[in-house]
Structure 1
Amino acid sequence: MKPIEIGSLAPDFTLDDILEQGIHLADYRGKKVLLSWHPAAWTGVCTDQMRSLEVNYEKFQTLNTVPFGLSCDPSACKKAWAAVLSIGDVALLSDFWPHGKVARNYGIFIDEFGMSQRANIIIDEAGIVKWVKIYGLSEMPDIDEVLQVLATL
């Protein structure tokens, strides 16, 4: 599966957050959006990746950016995980059902493992994909790199 191409219109979606409220991507037009995909909750690198979003939440706000943490875990699982991690600002979204549909639409679903790749995808204010970076499953994304890219858009 090939990741979504830069310059393409980001596929719209509605996914549940940890409160099982639907988050609709199109509602965020006028803001940049970071889709920060992690393979599985409750794992070390994924924990660090989501904490880095939370710690830098104010920086995202100054860059007119809404960060989302996404995975194919059920929303109840992500709710418990968010509580343990003290994540309160960053919305954690569940691509559980239909399983991995959004990850598939973005070209980052791993069929053999039933989870997404680790990836950061930046969407501009008009809904256009501006940056895509795929990481190794055990590789920690560089949050400073992400913030630097956002600052240039």
Structure 2
Amino acid sequence: MEEINRIAGGNMAPDFTLSDNRKRPIHLADYWGKKVLLSWHPLAWTNVCAEQMKSLEAHLADFSRLNTVALGMSIDSVPSKNQWAKQLLIAETMLLSDFWPHGGVARTYGLFRDVEGYSERANVLIDESGKVTWVKVYPVPELPDIDEVLAHCAE
């Protein structure tokens, strides 16, 4: 993947509709007026990804206070994400499936890892008008610091 294609701060966020773990269609543009955190994780059923998604769920009140909707994003299928959410006791956070076309939204955002076939571990923060304000890509084994994420949401 060439980094030149990666979404960057100041860009308008490409709109999309994906199904969440409960099979509900989630349309990004429906959330304009709120900040949206796209929290990308490579694969469900892995330890760091589980901790990343559980941290979103654990901080729902903080995200709400900051007028932010946190969305868990990966290339896993809806049934897989549904079972995973149940196992992790994630009841409120929406876990979106970018399964088909495989990684289509991740590709649009320049966050798809072609060699491995999954997304980067990344956070993309979008403001109330649909503009990207912060992008951070992490080494795949690294858990994003939720305090850093919340600090950017508070800006």
- TM-score, reference length from structure 1: 0.98
Q: When the two structures are aligned, how many residues end up with a matched partner?
A: 152
- How many Å apart are 1:5 and its aligned residue? 1.5
After the TM superposition, which residues 16-35 of structure 1 pair with which residues of structure 2 at under 5 Å, given as runs?
16-35=19-38
Q: Does 1:150 align with 2:145?
A: no
Gaps spanning 5+ residues in structure 2: where?
none
**Residue aligning to 1:81:** 84
Give RMSD over aligned pairs: 0.5
- How many Å apart are 1:21 and its aligned residue? 1.3
2:21 and 2:121 map into 1 onto residues whose CA distance is 20
Moved over 2 A (4+): none
2:62 and 2:122 map into 1 onto residues whose CA distance is 20
Aligned AA for 2:69?
Answer: V
Q: Does 1:52 align with 2:48?
A: no
- Paired residue for 1:123, among 116, 120, 126? 126
- How many Å apart are 1:89 and its aligned residue? 1.0
1:148 and 1:86 map into 2 onto residues whose CA distance is 25
- Paired residue for 1:13, among 7, 13, 16? 16
- TM-score, reference length from structure 2: 0.97
2:118 and 2:130 map into 1 onto residues whose CA distance is 24
Taking every aligned residue pair, what percent have the same amino acid on both sides?
57
**Residue aligning to 2:67:** 64
**Residue aligning to 1:41:** 44
